[in-house]
Amino acid sequence: MDTLLFRNARVIDPSQNLDRVCDVLCKCGKIAELGQNISCGDAVTIEASGLTLAPGLIDLHTHLRDPGFTEKEDILTGCEAAAAGGVTTLCAMPNTRPACDTPQTIAYILEKAANAKARVLPVAAITKGLQGETLTDMEALAEAGACAFSDDGVPVATAKLMADAMKRAAALDLPIFAHTEDRSLSAGGIMHDGAVAREISARGIPSAAEDVGTAREIALLLTADARTRLHICHVSTAGSIALIAFAKQQGLNITAETCPHYFLLHEEKLRSLDADYRMNPPLRTEADRNAVLRALIDGTIDVIATDHAPHTPLEKADFLKAPNGVVGMETSFSASYTALVQTGKMTLSELIRRMSLLPAQILGVEGGTLQVGARADLILIDEREAWTVDPKQLHGKSQNCVFKGCTLQSKVKMTVFNGKVVYNTLTKEQSYGI
């Protein structure tokens, strides 16, 4: 299946300001041609009339749990979930066992991902073992294939360590992905420190924990090497948004992400005492949710990621003791479409830009475009299809899905990765020969 021809799709590509009905030809893993009435005798033809074709999504923030926690997820199953959600490139965070803090662990991830259904880019640890004491050999990790550096899951322990990490990452022209949290404020908390936590007598995580962490990283960025690229992970508070807006006004090289659950849900979900709604940072107040939504629309928050974090049902069974985290790669596009495009708050082209083109630019990697010669990473979407999320039908190993039972609009019907179909729910009439 080296040649694919998509006929009469609505083709959206923000990198070319393209939104029109046309054909797309893929050959040898590349975009070969865009136009009308393309003819190619040896192509497998996909009749895409009524469907939307766009660049494959790029998820800057996932946890594949491999090595070390493969009962929750592994690289191959995580990429199965990615393919089902239209994600063709993902960043794998380093809080594995062992942590991704040596070239050998990066080599293991890349070798295992060689046959996966998405491109896996390892994020290397900032500190050895994520212990916050000693910086890793960042130069060796970059040479081995790290796409960024982060201690995600835990904040970098001291400002001095983070400042040193920023300096070394800047010299390598790789971004720092910052988990912004002051653990002296959040210690022991399991949900937002608000009305619901007080009512159910649960220890809370104050917004200030995130805000103080964000403020520290921005303060360091103010005096850092101009080449420093700082990316703030999983923004959930109005305070952090205000700080990021200030940093952008100062012309600092800062970007930020949020996740669909932060602009669709809020702390009231925790009244159910269902640990599937627990993550870190936690679901915040309705005011925070609205602030995240506004910041995403106005561009203060640049991209949508998932923080895909699988856990077993047994782990999630006890509300008070369960680990934080929710799965999200299979629902991220549809949830975002439902919240943003269906409501008229954002165009589909802009949503694709936030979930594909901008993430590629933040990483400085190929992707997020349908330009001729680019990687043939693309998705076919049915905007008309509404679907109800059933965790048992998800493609990863875990079911801790925050959108379970929700009816979402727009569905990924086919994912093409590197020119090969890796996910397909089209009818035989639409995709004969596949």
Beta-strand pair 204-205/148-149: unpaired
Query: Assign residue 220 a region: left if phi > 0, alpha if psi is -120 to 50, beta otherwise?
Result: alpha
Instruction: Give the relative orientation of helices 286-298 and 238-249 as an angle to the nearest 10 degrees.
Output: 30
Q: What is the mean pLDDT of the chain?
A: 97
Q: Which of 211, 288, 302, 307 is catalytic?
A: 307
Amino acid at 182: D
Counting residues of the chain whose pLDDT is more than 90, the rounded percentage is 97
Asked whether residue 431 carries a pLDDT value surpassing 70, the answer given is no
Asked whether residue 144 carries a pLDDT value surpassing 60, the answer given is yes
Q: How far apart are CA 266 and CA 290, in angstroms?
A: 10
Assess contact for 368 and 379: CB atoms under 8 A: no
Six-digit token string for 225: 């090497």
Collapsed DSSP state (helix, strand, coil) of residue 297: helix
Assess contact for 423 and 416: CB atoms under 8 A: no
Asked whether residue 432 carries a pLDDT value surpassing 60, the answer given is no
Q: How far apart are CA 153 and CA 64, in angstroms?
A: 13
Can you list the alpha helix ranges (DSSP code H) found in 125-223? 138-144, 159-172, 183-186, 195-199, 207-222
DSSP H or E stretch at residue 42: none
Check residue 393 and report its DSSP letter. G
Identify any residues that bridge with 176 across adjacent strands, giving them in sequence order.
149, 230
Backbone dihedral angles phi then psi of residue 19, each to the nearest 5 degrees: -155, 90
Assess contact for 305 and 58: CB atoms under 8 A: no
pLDDT band at 11 (very low <50, low <70, confident <90, very high): very high
pLDDT at 427: 77
pLDDT band at 1 (very low <50, low <70, confident <90, very high): low
Contacts of 196 (CB under 8 A, 6+ apart): 267, 268, 270, 271
* Number of alpha carbons in the 13 Å side-chain half-sphere of residue 141: 30
Active site residue 164: no
For the segment 396-421, the average pLDDT, to the nearest whole number, is 98
Segment 227-285, tens digit of pLDDT: 999 999 999 999 999 999 999 999 999 999 999 999 999 999 999 999 999 999 999 99
> Which one has a higher pLDDT value, 432 or 134?
134
pLDDT at 2: 82
pLDDT at 433: 56
Task: Supply the pTM of this predicted model.
Answer: 0.98
For the segment 186-199, the average pLDDT, to the nearest whole number, is 97
Question: Got the DSSP string for 173-188?
Answer: T--EEE----HHHHTT
Dmax (CA) for the chain in angstroms is 67
Domains (ranges, CATH) in the chain?
56-363 (3.20.20.140)
Question: Got the DSSP string for 59-101?
Answer: EEEE---TTT-TTT--HHHHHHHHHHTTEEEEEEPS-SSS-S-
Q: How far apart are CA 367 and CA 35, in angstroms?
A: 20
Counting residues of the chain whose pLDDT is more than 70, the rounded percentage is 99
Backbone dihedral angles phi then psi of residue 279, each to the nearest 5 degrees: -155, 170
Centre a 10 Å sphere on the Cβ of residue 434 and count the other Cβ atoms it contains. 14
Six-digit token string for 104: 């050998």
Among candidates 301, 366, 365, 288, which has minimal Cα distance to 336? 301
Assess contact for 255 and 362: CB atoms under 8 A: yes
Asked whether residue 364 carries a pLDDT value surpassing 60, the answer given is yes
Q: How far apart are CA 2 and CA 15, in angstroms?
A: 25
Segment 198-235, tens digit of pLDDT: 999 999 999 999 999 999 999 999 999 999 999 999 99
Backbone dihedral angles phi then psi of residue 94, each to the nearest 5 degrees: -90, 5
Beta-strand pair 57-62/87-92: parallel
pLDDT at 36: 96
For the segment 417-429, the average pLDDT, to the nearest whole number, is 91
Identify any residues that bridge with 140 across adjacent strands, giving them in sequence order.
none
pLDDT at 41: 85
Q: How far apart, in Å, do the first and last CA atoms of the chain sit?
A: 8
Segment 314-340, tens digit of pLDDT: 999 999 999 999 999 999 999 999 999
pLDDT band at 6 (very low <50, low <70, confident <90, very high): very high
373-403 per-residue burial string, b: 16 or more CB within 10 A, e: under 16: ebbbbbbbbbeeeeeebebeebbbbbbbbbb
pLDDT at 13: 98
